[in-house]
Amino acid sequence: MNLPPRQLLQTAAASRNAVRELLQSIFTAELLAPSRCLWIVSPWLRDVPVIDNTTGAFQYLGPDFPFDEVRLSRVLRDLLYRGTEVVIATRPDLGNRQVFEALGHGLGSRSSDRRLTFLERTDLHAKGIVGDRYSLAGSMNLTFNGIENLTEMLVFQTDREQVEELRIMFLGEYGGRP
Cβ atoms of residues 154 and 10 within 8 Å: yes
Position 78 in a domain = yes
* CATH number of domain containing 67: 3.30.870.10
pTM of the entire structure? 0.90
End-to-end CA gap in the chain: 21
Position 29 in a domain = yes
Identify the burial level of 109 via C-beta atoms within 10 angstroms of its C-beta, where 0-12 means exposed, 13-18 middle and 19 or more buried.
exposed
- Give the whole-angstrom CA distance, residue 147 versus residue 80: 24
Residue 30 is which amino acid? E
Domain count, the chain: 1
pLDDT band at 108 (very low <50, low <70, confident <90, very high): low
Range(s) of the domain holding residue 92: 6-174
Local structure of 148: helix, strand or coil: helix
Q: How many helices (H) and strands (E) does the chain have?
A: 6, 9
List the strands of the sheet with 37-41, edge to edge. Answer: 6-10, 152-157, 135-138, 128-130, 37-41, 85-90, 116-120
Q: Is 14 or 151 the better-scoring residue by pLDDT?
A: 151
pLDDT tens digits, one per residue of 116-155: 999 999 999 999 999 999 999 999 999 999 998 888 899 9
Position 106 in a domain = yes
Position 1 in a domain = no
- Give the whole-angstrom CA distance, residue 9 versus residue 6: 10
